[in-house]
């Protein structure tokens, strides 16, 4: 019976065991197809129960499918207590359960196992007549070693849910599964094995030999796989955190390129999540997303749109086609997004430093969402959102000022009890610097000094991208030739404003270079930004938002900012050209082609 207390009677009380009632019949393929189609179109458990009442005759496969479809809604967060109570007290469902028990011996192997798995997903009482009967019948067939790969995988999943990993039946089923030749398995059998391992049996390196065998076979069959199989396998590898799976992940990513337009929303979410976890992308996949996402930005699931933006953000991919359409759809769809999804979509724009064409409408909508749902934002989601706005030179001061309050700091500290990490404090510090430097009329609360960092550069949690050593050394060597000695410039200088300068050059009032050690008579400071490829979008000559705001702030603070970009530097052929290039960039007013 169902694990819910109350007045609901279990199905064995409504229909006593042995009553002889039987509803399971062999339907024609057309009838079965029509039923499955109608079942898939149901959008609530009530619709499933109404469909059940309209079909007095059902096949075993259809009956098992009803259990799984009801489980889909039972696991749905939108399924409320009232709907669950209606489900549990339904006479038709109880009758169906009694019939499955009565006819368990007549069920095909895979249908039998599917019915048992459906019971576990519905959290039926493991001691109920139905579950016990299905387990008993499965054990009999297991003893005869007549179950195929899919049935063995499904049975192992079901018994894992019922009895845990130490079940004797599981060990028997897994032993038979391991004795089968994985090199002969088809895609459906491989997917069944991955799903089984990912539900818990493959944790902590268990059955690693089996996993490696199915990885090898999957690599052979990957070009035959459709969107469902790709998503299932990538999702399973992601759950298992299987480190040796990268070759298979790469192959699945290449195959996914051909199916981007065919993925259902949940499938695409799984694919992109797995690829981000494994640190892999593919420019053909990016191109496919750029073709597909603009077409569905107004209709796709909110989480799908958000995951796409997170994917582009993760790989620093500047995609005007995607960003423009997502920004446009945001204006119309923001009310249906969670506060986390709102934050993540705008944060992606901030990271890439990209303003869509109609930025005014976009940020008016952001402001509208903040006004309407400010209290619903989790502290870090709110911080990420407002921080992204300032990266894009949009300053929602009324909301930013609330971040500097003691109450907000308490919220940040209380989210997980571990205090506030360096990156969050750095964001708060830079946010405060931004409103003070770029909004001189700001007269709101101050950020307490105890929450400010001294440097934005920190290992693993930095708001600045460290200079690339090879690039830095090449510039440094040429500067020695240009200025005459290394003493005329300083490297990696931490300023009082938390930013670290790659190279600082000091000038006196007449424009002469001073030794780096000089502190008096400094009239102007030059900040050389040695911007390697990681400070730009991966696919465009555009600074990331955090690098652009750094250079913007340095200019406001009085520095002359000189950008040495990798895409200009790489065109220089020899040391002489490098020195001439630096001379022209740093001292354009005194630059001469020859002395």
Q: What is the pLDDT of residues 361-394, one digit of tens each?
A: 999 999 999 999 999 999 999 999 999 999 999 9
Residue 558 belongs to a domain: yes
Could you give the CA distance from residue 546 to residue 457 in angstroms, rounded to a whole number? 12
For 467-490, the pLDDT digits (tens) are 999 999 999 999 999 999 999 999
pLDDT score for 57 = 79
> Average pLDDT in the 528-554 region?
96
Last residue of a domain, one of 127, 162, 180: 180
* Across 266-274, average pLDDT: 96
The pLDDT of residue 91: 83
Residue 272 belongs to some domain of the structure: no
Higher pLDDT, 250 or 81: 250
Question: Is 227 within the bounds of a domain?
Answer: no
Q: Mark out the alpha helices in 122-224 (DSSP H runs).
A: 129-143, 149-163, 168-178, 187-196, 208-221
Cα(151)–Cα(145) distance, rounded to whole angstroms?
11
Q: Which of 9-23, 120-134, 286-300, 530-544 has the lowest mean pLDDT?
A: 9-23
Q: Evaluate if residue 201 carries a pLDDT over 80.
A: yes
pLDDT class for 26, splitting at 50, 70, 90?
Answer: low
Per DSSP, the residues of 205-216 read GTTHHHHHHHHH
Nearest residue to 370 via CA among 403, 406, 348, 393: 403
Domain that holds residue 514: 469-590
Please state the pTM of the whole predicted model. Answer: 0.88
Q: Which of 139, 158, 180 is the last residue of a domain?
A: 180
CB distance 305 to 342 below 8 Å: no
- Assigned domain for 132 exists: yes
Position 17 scores a pLDDT of: 41
Instruction: Tell me what pLDDT residue 4 has.
Output: 33
Contact 229, 193 (CB under 8 A): no
- Helix%, strand%, coil% for the chain, nearest 5: 65, 5, 30
Of 136, 151, 180, which one is at a domain's C-terminal end? 180
Q: How many alpha carbons lie under 13 Å from residue 285 in its C-beta half-sphere?
A: 21
Instruction: Return the DSSP state at 408.
Output: H
Question: What pLDDT does 128 receive?
Answer: 87
The answer, yes or no, to whether residue 7 has pLDDT greater than 70, is no
Taking only the tens place, the pLDDT of each residue in 503-527 is: 999 999 888 999 999 888 889 999 9
Percent of the chain beyond pLDDT 70?
A: 91
In this predicted structure, the answer to whether residue 19 has a pLDDT above a threshold of 70 is: no
Report whether 86 contacts 45 (CB < 8 A): yes
Whether the Cβ atoms of residue 352 and residue 372 lie closer than 8 Å to each other: no
Residue 411 lies in a domain: no
Report how far apart, in Å, the C-alpha atoms of 166 and of each of 162, 178, 407 are: 11, 17, 49
Do residues 580 and 479 lie in contact, with contact meaning Cβ atoms separated by under 8 Å?
Answer: no
Pairwise CA distance, residues 320 & 316, whole Å:
13
* 228 domain residue, yes or no: no
The predicted pLDDT at position 25 comes to: 60
Q: Is residue 395 part of a domain?
A: no
| pLDDT tens digits along 58-115 | 888 888 999 999 888 876 544 444 455 556 667 888 888 888 888 889 899 999 999 9
Domain count, the chain: 2
Instruction: Provide the pLDDT for residue 541.
Output: 94
Q: What three-state secondary structure class fits 310?
A: helix
Cα gap 114→526, rounded to integer Å: 70
94 falls within a domain? yes
């Amino acid at each position: 019976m169902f694990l819910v207390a109350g007045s609901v009677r279990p199905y064995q009380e409504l229909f006593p065991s042995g009553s002889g009632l039987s509803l399971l019949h062999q339907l024609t393929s057309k009838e079965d197809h029509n039923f499955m189609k109608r079942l898939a179109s149901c959008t609530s458990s009530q619709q499933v129960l109404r469909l059940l009442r309209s079909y007095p005759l059902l096949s075993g496969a259809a009956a098992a499918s009803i259990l799984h479809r009801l489980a889909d809604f039972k696991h749905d967060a939108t399924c409320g207590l009232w709907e669950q109570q209606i489900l549990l007290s339904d006479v038709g469902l109880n009758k169906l359960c009694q019939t499955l028990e009565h006819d368990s011996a007549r069920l095909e192997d895979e249908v039998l196992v599917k019915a048992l798995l459906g019971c576990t997903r519905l959290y039926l009482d493991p001691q109920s007549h139905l579950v016990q009967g299905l387990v008993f019948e499965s054990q009999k067939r297991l003893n005869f070693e007549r179950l195929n790969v899919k049935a063995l995988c499904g049975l192992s999943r079901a018994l894992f849910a019922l009895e845990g990993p130490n079940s004797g039946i599981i060990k028997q089923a897994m032993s038979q599964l391991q004795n089968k030749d994985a090199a002969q398995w088809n895609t459906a059998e491989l997917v069944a094995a991955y799903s089984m391992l990912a539900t818990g049996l493959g944790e902590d390196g268990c059955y690693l030999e089996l996993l490696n065998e199915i990885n090898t076979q999957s690599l052979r069959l990957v070009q035959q796989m459709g969107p469902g199989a790709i998503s299932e396998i990538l999702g399973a590898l992601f759950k298992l955190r299987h480190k040796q799976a990268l070759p298979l992940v790469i192959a699945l990513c290449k195959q996914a390129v051909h199916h981007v337009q065919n993925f259902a929303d949940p499938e695409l979410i799984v694919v992109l999540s797995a690829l981000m976890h494994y640190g892999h992308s593919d420019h053909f996949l990016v191109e496919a997303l750029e073709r597909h996402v603009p077409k569905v930005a107004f209709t796709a699931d909110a989480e799908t749109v958000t995951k796409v933006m997170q994917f582009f953000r993760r790989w620093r991919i500047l995609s005007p086609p995607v960003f423009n359409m997502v920004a446009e759809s945001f204006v119309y769809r923001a009310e249906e997004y969670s506060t986390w999804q709102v934050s993540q979509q705008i944060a992606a724009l901030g990271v890439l430093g990209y303003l869509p064409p109609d930025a005014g409408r976009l940020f008016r909508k952001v402001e509208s969402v903040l006004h309407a749902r400010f209290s619903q934002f989790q502290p870090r989601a709110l911080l990420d959102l407002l921080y992204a706005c300032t990266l894009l030179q949009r300053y929602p001061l009324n909301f930013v000022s609330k971040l500097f309050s003691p109450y907000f700091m308490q919220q940040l500290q209380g989210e997980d009890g571990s205090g506030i990490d360096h990156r969050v404090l750095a964001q708060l510090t830079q946010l405060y610097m931004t409103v003070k430097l770029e909004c001189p009329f700001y007269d709101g609360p101050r950020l307490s000094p105890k929450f400010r960092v001294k440097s934005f550069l920190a290992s693993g949690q930095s708001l600045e991208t460290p200079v690339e050593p090879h690039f830095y050394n090449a510039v440094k060597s040429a500067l020695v030739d240009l200025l005459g000695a290394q003493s005329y410039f300083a490297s990696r200088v931490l300023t009082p404003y938390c930013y670290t300068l790659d190279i600082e050059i000091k000038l006196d009032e007449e424009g002469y270079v001073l030794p780096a050690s000089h502190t008096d008579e400094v009239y102007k400071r030059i900040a050389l930004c040695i911007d390697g490829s990681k400070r730009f979008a991966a696919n465009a000559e555009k600074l990331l938002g955090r690098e652009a705001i750094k250079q913007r702030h340095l200019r406001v603070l009085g520095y002359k900012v000189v950008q040495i970009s990798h895409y200009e530097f790489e065109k220089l052929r020899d040391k002489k050209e490098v020195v001439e290039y630096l001379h022209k960039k740093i001292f354009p007013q005194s630059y001469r082609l020859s002395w």
